[in-house]
Amino acid sequence: MIRHLFKLMWNRKRGNFLMIVEIFFSFLVLFGVSTLLLYFYTNASKPLGFKYDNVWVLQTYSNDMPDAERRERTAQLLKQLRSYPQIEHAALAGPNGPYTRSSSNTELAHDGMERTANVITVQDNAFKDVMGIEMVDGRWFNDQDAFSNRQPIVVTKDVEEAFFPGESAVGKTVMRGDTERTIIGVITAFKPTGEMDDLTSSYFERTALEDTASRAMGTIYIKIKPGTNPQFEEEVLETAANIGTGWTTDLQQMPDLRRSYLKQILIPMIIFAIVCAFLILNVALGLFGVLWHNINKRHSEIGLRRALGASASSVYKQFIGEIMVLATFGLVIGCFFAVQFPLLGIIQEVPTETFIQAILTSVFLIYTLVILCALYPSKQAAAIHPAIALHED
């Protein structure tokens, strides 16, 4: 029967050409949307590796304050902040913490392999506690690490798996540029660029505020006790202003930063999805109308098939089958174009698996869609009385 339907639809390809074209373009649209959604979904399903709740980000810009004084004041501010009962932990680090829209990455290399990773510089040992980072292996930084000539770093699990599959990375060295770094600890994950980003690897390095050879950091990450009054923000800013005279400061809550980060990605995505959903709905309604009309044109054929021994249900199945065959024609052309994306590597960021998943999803959706469009018209076709249909021409 399937062979028969293919033959029939192939011979009717001229009449059904527009429907095939419509299915082809609908497939491309669905492929686009599902690639995008799956890409973000895949990214979002990888662990963040930190907790943003009750974390505040205090940015300080020392403006024209001399460096030595700045370091001194920053240390003073940290000490003061840590003395507040509302503050659980406070950490000094680089400006590229989670959701800050500031990012910095570099290549790590080992044994001929290269891997892009976020670099986060911390200037004390509290960052792990502020962000709720979990260790898998080895240890987090201590005060000596800033002055160690082994250049100690802490890496995420996926860096370990990439460079040292099946073994522990602790104690091993990797290259950054032409200098060597020693891995002292491995953490579950850390994705400071946010859940929608595809860069999962990160590593931390430790410098010291009192070490004038390394740049002084100005961003303080603060873990607040749950239930702290939001007005405490003002007190923190007051403290920062009193200690850092002439500084410019900015305090943001990480959940707010996250919200605006997500908004920026989700709103265009939602608009895109809505527009595409409209296109598909439009096509669905059109297919429905055209199928309905086509069936009205084929009364005598239906009558004939019934006379030759087709039951109502086989007529029903035939019409569903026909549209699936048509869809297959459109999908074959569509898939030909879609597979070019992973084959030619047109969009590097999106991994091949995501493209394949997107193709499968779109194929499934197209079949579902055409079947849904064909259900009612096919039911109508099956209900046509054979005796009447045969004498209608």
Of 135-143, 179-187, 216-224, 242-250, the segment contacting other proteins by CB under 8 A is: 242-250
CB atoms within 10 A of CB 198: 15
Closest to other proteins by CB, 172 or 379? 379
CB of 270 to other proteins, least distance (A): 10
* 125 touches other proteins (CB under 8 A): no
Does residue 26 interact with other proteins by CB under 8 A? yes
User: Of 103-111, 115-123, 133-141, 281-289, which part binds other proteins (CB under 8 A)?
Assistant: 281-289
Q: Is 4 in the site for other proteins (CB under 8 A)?
A: yes
Can you tell me which of 37, 175, 251, 356 binds other proteins, judged by CB under 8 A? 251
Does 377 participate in binding other proteins (rule CB under 8 A)?
no
Residue 385 CB, shortest distance to other proteins, in Å, is 8
**CA dist., res. 354 & res. 34, Å (int):** 9
**Counting contacts by CB under 8 A, is residue 293 touching other proteins?**
yes
Neighbours of 315 (CB within 10 A): 23
* Residues that bind other proteins in the complex, under the rule CB under 8 A: 1, 3-4, 7-8, 11-12, 15, 18-19, 21-22, 25-26, 29, 61, 63-64, 230-231, 233-234, 237, 241, 246, 248-251, 267, 275, 278-279, 282-283, 285-286, 288-290, 292-294, 296-297, 300-301, 303-314, 385-387, 390-391, 393
